[in-house]
Amino acid sequence: MKKSDWGVEIVRIDNGFLIKDNEGKITVVEDKDNDDESLAGEKLLWEIINFFNLEGSRYDKKRLSVVSMVGDKYTPKEGERLINKSYQQLIIE
């Protein structure tokens, strides 16, 4: 199959997504445990990145990643604490 023939159809379901490729293969992407919509979305993005082989390697100049982060205005609940971590490195030319 040539790259120009690649494609997927994405359908929203209650707790995630169905991905159907052009050969009819169906992949269910869902968050079974937490009803966490953003986690299902994160899993969906990883499936798409992997399907189109866009992830790259750790030695590439650039590679794609999915980053999940706390909202700017989120207030931690009792027992939660926020820590700052940055995984981003930029090339300045």
> What confidence tens digit (pLDDT) does each residue in 45-70 have?
999 998 888 888 889 988 888 888 88
Q: What share of the chain is helix, strand, coil (3-state, %, to 5)?
A: 20, 20, 60
Q: What angle do CA 47, 40, 4 make, to 5 degrees?
A: 25
Q: What are phi and psi of 66, to 5 degrees?
A: -110, 125
Answer with the residue of higher pLDDT: 24 or 36. Answer: 24
Q: Enumerate the domain spans of the chain.
A: 6-72
Q: Which residues have CB under 8 Å from 38's CB, separation 6+?
A: 68
**pTM metric for this prediction:** 0.73
Predicted local confidence at residue 19, as pLDDT: 93
Residues in the chain: 93
Both tokens of 26, joined, read 């169906």
Give the C-alpha separation, 17 to 29, whole Å: 5
